[in-house]
Amino acid sequence: MDSTLNIQHYYQQMQSNAVVMSYKGAASGKLLDSLITVAQAKLAEIEPKRMVKKKVFSVLVEILQNIHHHFNNVDLEALQEDDAIMFVFAKNGENYSVITGNFILSAEVEALKGRIDAVNLLSTEEIKDRYREVLGTGEISDKGGAGLGIIDIARKSGGKLQYDFSKHNDKFSFFSLTVNISAT
């Protein structure tokens, strides 16, 4: 992936054009819930096509809940960072983008990177097969797990997942993810 991908830069760029909503600040399950609720209301205002609304909403839910599963492992006190997550939801013409940034344990970076890279290599048909394989055989866990979320996000959005990791300190890294959702 493009190593110059920088969420701060994207954030500024998005502010100037088509941001539907954005958030930067503390993170909690409740907060993510509120973001989901607000995003849904915004989407209802701006998107006339029911099925597009539905698709965008379901990708949004998956992205935000995926973050939640990751920060469950992050001790926010040890992190000492007020702005634990960043979220930008934008509309570009007919299409939508969701950009998120959140801290994860540095120890998890390689595994997550590997999962996203693996999904990005697959064709649409292969993603479908992979999804079925993981869904049918994957062990159920309290975390949802097995990377089904990432596969689902790639499958529904219909595009490649763009990401970046930057080291925050010895323990934490900042993970940013850009998902473009094709509305056609």
Partner 1 sequence: MENFYLEETSKTPKLSFNAETGRFLMSGRSIPENSIEFYRPLFEWLDEYVQKPAPQTAFDIQLEYFNTSSSKCLVEIFRRLEKINSQNIVINWYYEEDDEDMQESGEDFKEIIDIEIKLNVLES
Q: Least separation, in Å, of the C-beta of 144 and partner 1?
A: 4
Kindly write down the DSSP assignment for every residue of 158-179, as one continuous string.
-SPPEEEEEE-SSSEEEEEEEE
Taking the least distance from each CB to partner 1, the nearer of 4 and 51 is 51
Residue 55 as a binder of partner 1 (CB under 8 A): the answer is yes
Taking CB under 8 A as the rule, does residue 118 contact partner 1? no
Closest CB 61 distance from partner 1, rounded Å:
5
Q: How far is CA 173 from CA 66, 101, 139, 150, in A?
A: 16, 10, 27, 19
Number of H helices, E strands in the chain: 7, 5
Is residue 65 within the footprint of partner 1 (CB under 8 A)? yes
- CA-based nearest residue to 26, from 100, 105, 102: 102
Closest distance of CB 3 from partner 1, Å: 29
Measured CA to CA, the distance from residue 69 to residue 132 in angstroms comes to: 21
Q: Is 156 in the site for partner 1 (CB under 8 A)?
A: yes
Give residues in contact with partner 1 (CB under 8 A): 29, 32-33, 36, 50-51, 54-55, 57-58, 61-62, 65, 68, 128, 131-132, 135-136, 138, 140, 142, 144-145, 148-149, 151-152, 156
